[in-house]
Amino acid sequence: MVFLRPACLSLSLALAAGTLAAGDYDALLGAVKKSWPTCQTIAVVCDSSGSRAALAALTSAAGGMRLMVVDVKGPQDMGKAIGMLSGRKPDAMILLAGDHVAGDGSSAATFLIQRMAAMKVPTATTTEAGVKQGAALGLGSGTGGKLMCNAKVAAVAGVAVPAGATTF
Question: Phi, psi (5° rounding) for residue 71?
Answer: -85, 125
Quote the CA–CA distance of 25 and 126 in Å, as a whole number: 7
Q: What is the pTM of this model?
A: 0.86
**SS3 of residue 90 by DSSP:** coil
Residue 9 has pLDDT above 90, yes or no: no
- 65 vs 6, 32, 128, 133, 159, CA distance in Å? 11, 11, 24, 25, 18
What is the structure's pLDDT at 3?
Answer: 45
Residue 84 has pLDDT above 80, yes or no: yes
Rounded mean pLDDT of 119-141?
A: 95
Rounded mean pLDDT of 54-72?
A: 95
CATH number (3.40.630.30, 3.40.50.2300, 3.90.1150.10, 3.40.50.720) of 3-167 reads: 3.40.50.2300
Maximum mean pLDDT: which of 7-11, 44-48, 157-161: 44-48
Quote the CA–CA distance of 150 and 130 in Å, as a whole number: 10
Model confidence at 22, pLDDT cuts 50, 70, 90, reads low
In this prediction, what percent of the chain has a pLDDT beyond 70?
87
Closest CA to 50 of 96, 81, 85, 95: 96
Quote the CA–CA distance of 55 and 138 in Å, as a whole number: 17
Residue 10 has pLDDT above 50, yes or no: no
Who wins on pLDDT, 42 or 163? 42
Each domain of the chain, given as residue ranges in start order, spans 3-167
Residue 144 has pLDDT above 70, yes or no: yes
Quote the CA–CA distance of 98 and 129 in Å, as a whole number: 12
